[in-house]
Chains A and B, each alone.
Chain A
Amino acid sequence: MKEAWLFAAQRLSAMVLAPLVLLHLGTVLYAVRGGLSADEILSRTEGSLFWGAVYGLFVLAAAVHAPIGLRAVLSEWCRWRGAGLDIAMGLFGLLLLALGLRAVMAVL
């Protein structure tokens, strides 16, 4: 039952995301005081296994969570159903994963 598995995947990824989002927002509030540039952020996080792991997990959970939610929105608002939507959302998830992991790789 595909919908049941997607339901579980979205709830589980939400449980992972909830504390990570709070941590992320807290970090943003702290970090923004020194200006928001890639150099400034990387100077603080580069080589840190902790931040690499946190954001690695964040990216993974977001790449699972977001496409499932977007799939529901598109199917209701745009009446888009079927295999085409599933494939598009799979690709969207991979895109999020690739973009996110690229950023995480810079930290490690």
Chain B
Amino acid sequence: MKRTCPRLVETGYDEPAMAVLEVEIWRGGEDGAWRRYSVPHEANQTVLDVVTHVQRHIDPSLAYRFACRVGMCGSCAMTVNGRPRWTCRTHVSLAARKGRVRIGPLRNLPVIRDLAVDMAPFFEKWRDAEARFVPAAEPPDAPVRPDEPERKAADAGIECINCAVCYAACDSVAWNPDYPGPAVLNRLWTLVNDRRDGDRDGHLDAAGAGCHLCRSHQECANACPTGLNPTAAIAGLKREVFRRALGGRTRERQQ
């Protein structure tokens, strides 16, 4: 039966002529292979719906990860037609090219099996950079206003939920195992700008050599499902790290 989706047709999305979607899904570990599945095409179908259909109706051994299904948790990130995406927030009609979709595991992380990657290296870099809030011994002299420049700079990057989409998109991560990745540096930038944090110097030192390994390709900003701009955050870190190397502003903050 042919299914139609008036909204998708109206907006000119790539609505396939047939009600069947040709899907290629990565099966196995690092040395696995693409396997083809035919999945019924539904209106408003997300890529996660497609993967779920394959697991429930075609091959129950398919491994993949998801939790919230509404773009809150970030655990369903996969590579869809070459781009890292949250599959729950990606309509098949948007991602498909001529009715075809290729779904693989996230890049730059070890593949456990099928679509599930080992997130440990991503979080280990986060841990090693100590990218976490350190409460200051004394509260800030003045109340933190939402509209002050430092707070706005921190707020710009605060909505990161550690989904590793930026990490998978980043060529610098692929080329350089020492590079901490956009998410960690973005987090450090929010901490550097947080007046309530007591270890600004420590965060800048942690960003130190790592932030200079960013080549500003902006793949992270392009891919971030939350619309954050880690490249801008890293550019800020580069400036502040240099300012610190000059012996300028350190623990004392400009009011």
A interface residue numbers (CB < 8 A to B): 1, 3-8, 72, 75-77
Q: Choose among B175, B238, B245 the residue that contacts A76 (Cβ–Cβ < 8 A).
A: B175
Q: Does B209 contact A (CB under 8 A)?
A: yes
Label chain A's interface by main secondary structure. helix
Is the Cβ of A3 less than 8 Å from the Cβ of B208?
A: yes
B212 within 8 A of A: yes
In-complex Cβ contact of B209 among A3, A8, A77 (8 A): A3
For chain B residues 211-230, which have a beta carbon within 8 Å of chain A? 212-213, 215
Q: Are B238 and A7 in contact (CB under 8 A)?
A: yes
A4 is contacted by which of B172, B213, B215, B245 (Cβ under 8 Å)? B245
Whether, in the assembled complex, B242 has its beta carbon less than 8 Å from a beta carbon of chain A, the answer is yes
Size bin of chain B's contact surface = 10 to 19
B44 within 8 Å of A by Cβ?
Answer: no
4 A-B pairs closest in CB distance: A4-B245, A3-B212, A76-B175, A1-B245
How does the 8 Å CB contact mask read for B84-102 relative to A, with 1 for contact and 0 for none? Answer: 0000000000000000000
Interface residues as binary, B168-207 with A (CB distance below 8 Å gives 1, 0 otherwise): 0000100110000000000000000000000000000000
Q: Is B113 an interface residue (CB 8 A)?
A: no
Q: Which residues of chain A are within 8 angstroms of B238 by Cβ–Cβ distance?
A: 4, 7
Tell me which of B172, B175, B212, B244 contacts A7 (CB under 8 A): B212
Partner of B242, one of A8, A75, A77: A8
Q: Evaluate contact between B175 and A77: CB separation under 8 angstroms.
A: yes
- Taking the closest CB of chain B, its distance from the CB of A14, in whole angstroms, is 12
Q: What is the 8 Å Cβ interface bit string for chain B, positions 42-61, against chain A (1 contact, 0 not)?
A: 00000000000000000000
User: CB within 8 Å of A: which of B221-255?
Assistant: 238, 241-242, 244-245
Query: Which residues on B sit within 8 Å (CB–CB) of A3?
Result: 208-209, 212, 241
Q: State A7–B207 Cα separation when bound (angstroms).
A: 14
Residues on B with beta carbons closer than 8 Å to the beta carbon of A6 = 212
A4 near B241 with CB under 8 A, answer yes
Name B100-130 residues within 8 Å CB distance of A.
none
Chain A residue with Cβ nearest B242: A4
Bound-state CA distance A5–B243 (Å) is 10
Task: Write out the residue numbers on chain B whose beta carbons fall within 8 Å of the beta carbon of A7.
Answer: 212, 238, 241-242
CB neighbours (8 Å) of A77 from chain B are 175
